[in-house]
Amino acid sequence: MAILEVRDISVSFGGIKPVRGVTFSVEAGSFTSIIGPNGAGKTSLFNLISGVNKIDAGEISFKGQTIHKLHAHEIASRGLVRTFQGAKVIKRLTVAENLMMAVQGNPGDSLWRFFTPRSRSKFEKHARELAMERLDRVGMTKYADDFAGILSGGQRKLLDLSRALMTNPSMILLDEPFAGVNPTLVEKLLEVLASMRKQHEITFLLIEHDLETVMNISERVIVMAEGKIIADGLPNSIYENEQVVDAYLGSRKRGA
């Protein structure tokens, strides 16, 4: 059963059309990767799916409901969240506080509840417990009370992933989660993703340039070039597709 359906979507910005008539669906519980050369439209596609930008044409559905007219926070509240290429952290808050901010139902969102100390105290305790649980899952509990600004690039990626988990999502869009991460932390990230998928049945849609990693973890690979999908299939079949070789894998395939 498809959890995400993208039907003939397009968008243009000042005469540039980074996404052109893209159509695909993602099965619930699957791990799908999107690859392609720089400028292929991969991140632009994620921005459209997550509500950061609006489509000019087409339709996007999540769990059978149309979402392309919703704002990003409304889409996230329905269980579709994303991470970004550069992990976004608030450096002057602690690691735990960065996660606590993602918890829904903060009394500060309501004027009358803001002035109820008991309500605030109860929420903060719950949020802290949830944050510590998420940090334990990625092996970062010892950093809970350190400022997020001290974290390495790889640790920030783990924090970004942990924050996405705070909303108990059904699907996560991962935008180059392994970029700039040392091999040890890449292994840790892969372990976390495998555990999340197995224990929580989370669906993943991944953008990544590390082809070896993509081929090892993906059940399906979608290839984009010039805003369009040029190939879609099992990982091994991608290397046999002439369009993919020409658009993206040429130098690797031919040894050039």
Predicted confidence (pLDDT) per residue in 193-236, tens digit: 888 887 768 999 999 887 788 888 899 999 999 999 999 999 88
Side-chain half-sphere exposure of 121, counting CA atoms within 13 A:
3
pTM (two decimals): 0.85
d(C-alpha 247, C-alpha 40), whole Å: 10
The confidence score (pLDDT) of residue 211 equals 78
**DSSP class of residue 106?**
-
Q: How confident is the model at residue 24 (pLDDT cuts 50, 70, 90)?
A: very high
Taking the domains of the chain in order of start, what are their residue ranges? Answer: 2-89+169-254, 91-150
pLDDT at 255: 42
Q: Which amino acid is at 39?
A: G
Is residue 35 classed exposed, middle or buried when 0-12, 13-18 and 19+ CB atoms within 10 A define those classes? Answer: buried
Pairing, β 228-233 against β 220-225:
antiparallel
Query: Which residue from 142, 173, 172, 178 is spatially nearest to 158, judged by alpha carbons?
Result: 178
The separation between CA 140 and the C-alpha centre of its own chain, rounded to angstroms, equals: 20
Q: Which amino acid is at 73?
A: H
Rounded-to-integer distance, Cα 3 and Cα 78, Å: 12
The DSSP annotation for 40-93 comes to SSHHHHHHHHTTSS--SEEEEEETTEE-TTS-HHHHHHTTEEE--SS----TTS
Look up tokens 């540039």; give the residue.
Answer: 16
> Beta-strand (E) ranges in the chain?
2-13, 16-27, 31-35, 57-62, 65-66, 80-82, 171-175, 203-207, 220-225, 228-233
The pLDDT of residue 254: 42
At the topology level, CATH places domain 2-89+169-254 in: Rossmann fold (3.40.50)
Does the pLDDT value for residue 76 go beyond 70?
Answer: yes
pLDDT tens-digit readout, 144-197: 999 999 998 888 988 988 888 888 899 999 998 888 788 888 888 888 888 888
